[in-house]
Structure 1
Amino acid sequence: MNLSADAVFAFGKSDIASVSDEGRDQLDRLVGRLHRIRDVRAVHLAGYTDRIGGDAYNDALSRRRAEAVRGYLVAHGVPAEVITTEGRGAADPLVTCPDLSGSRLRACLAPNRRVAVSIVAMRHVER
């Protein structure tokens, strides 16, 4: 499952206060799904950015985004001990957008700005 970081966070942001209505819906659907799945053993959150900006900045931003989603999940009843996070920066892009610049490049690269969610459960039986 991928959470679109562009929907969840404003460009260049990592705080939950900047979450859009669409982003809040994505987070709430994730919380609902986690509450319905029996025997959740692990939830791994991997934050990503686009290629705009330096590596150190993008690595830190991607970690902060994953941690912000973790905080949201914990605040909504998901056990903290099952959640791990990592920042992947601009790794594993979904789109490359060659020959674009400025606002067109930023818009094209939006799918790369995401938080990937992996859920491990004993049984994938929803309550």
Structure 2
Amino acid sequence: MTKQLKLSALVAALLVSASAFAAKPGYTVDQTTDAVSRNNYGECWHTTYFDKAKDGLVECGDREAAKPVAPVVQAPKAAPVSVKEHVTLSAKVLFNFDKATLRADAKNELDPLVAKLKAHAGQGVLNGVEIDGYTDFLGSDKYNNALSQKRADAVKEYFVNAGVPAEKVTAVGKGKADAKMTDECKSKFPKYAKNKKQNAEIKACIEPDRRVDVVIDAVKVTTQQ
């Protein structure tokens, strides 16, 4: 009976010791406190199986403490912003005087815009494009409104035939609604209505009013600060 008790105690001690070693392999452990045993100099006791690469403990100075991981800073989210680009095209370049049929060399002005619009559409950032036709102040409102609409329609047709999505393009005739040169040119040539020379001169003076404005509405991706 006594031998059995001693054997049981020995097995229990071995199990406790094995458990301690398993918890802190490579070190001699105090079975009562589960702490690493130290010598008189405060140094941890190593076993013959100690491997610093695998068994090192920070508390024994055999391994560096893990450095805190810096928080991951996420980049600011991109915010879509709608931007409108205004391009003014001279009606003199696009059309003959008092006409609404595009000149052959109008493609030199329109093709770069077509390329930009198709690129925007392909990227899914084209909200739309508005083509506004304008005339000078000469002539009646009815006539100028009709002429400016026909010119805007001609540019729209060119864009659509070149591959710009039709549903993205609108054409508006605005007649002489924004004839900015009227007052200045009238003051320069007050007798234009009765003088052929002044009539020709005032037509040249108000040429900037005869135009087509292209307003491109596209999404530009920016970064929030």
Name the residue aligned to 2:176: 90
5+ residue gaps, structure 1, are none
Runs (4 or more) in structure 1 with deviation over 6 Å come to none
1:44-87 superposed Cα distances (whole Å, 9 cap, x missing partner): 01100011111100000000000000000001110100011111
User: In 2 relative to 1, CA 124–70 (structure 1 residues): closer, same or farther, beyond 3 Å?
Assistant: farther
Q: TM-score, normalised by structure 1?
A: 0.88
Q: Which residue of 2 aligns with 1:31?
A: 114
Please report the TM-score for the alignment, with normalisation by the length of structure 2: 0.51
SS in 2 for 1:106: helix
Rg comparison, structure with higher value: 2
Partner of 1:51: 137
Q: CA deviation at 1:29?
A: 1.8
Query: What is the alpha-carbon distance in structure 2 between the residues aligned to residue 120 and residue 41 of structure 1?
Result: 5
Q: SS at the partner of 1:50?
A: coil
Secondary structure, counterpart of 2:202 in structure 1: helix
CA distance in 1, matches of 2:114, 2:181: 28
Letter of the aligned partner of 2:158 in structure 1?
A: Y
Distance 1:94 1:111 in 2: 8
Distance 1:117-1:57 versus aligned 2 partners, 3 A rule: same
Structure 2: runs of 5+ lacking an equivalent: 1-86, 193-198
Partner of 1:75: 161
- Count of residues paired in the alignment: 122
Q: Give the CA RMSD over aligned residues.
A: 1.7
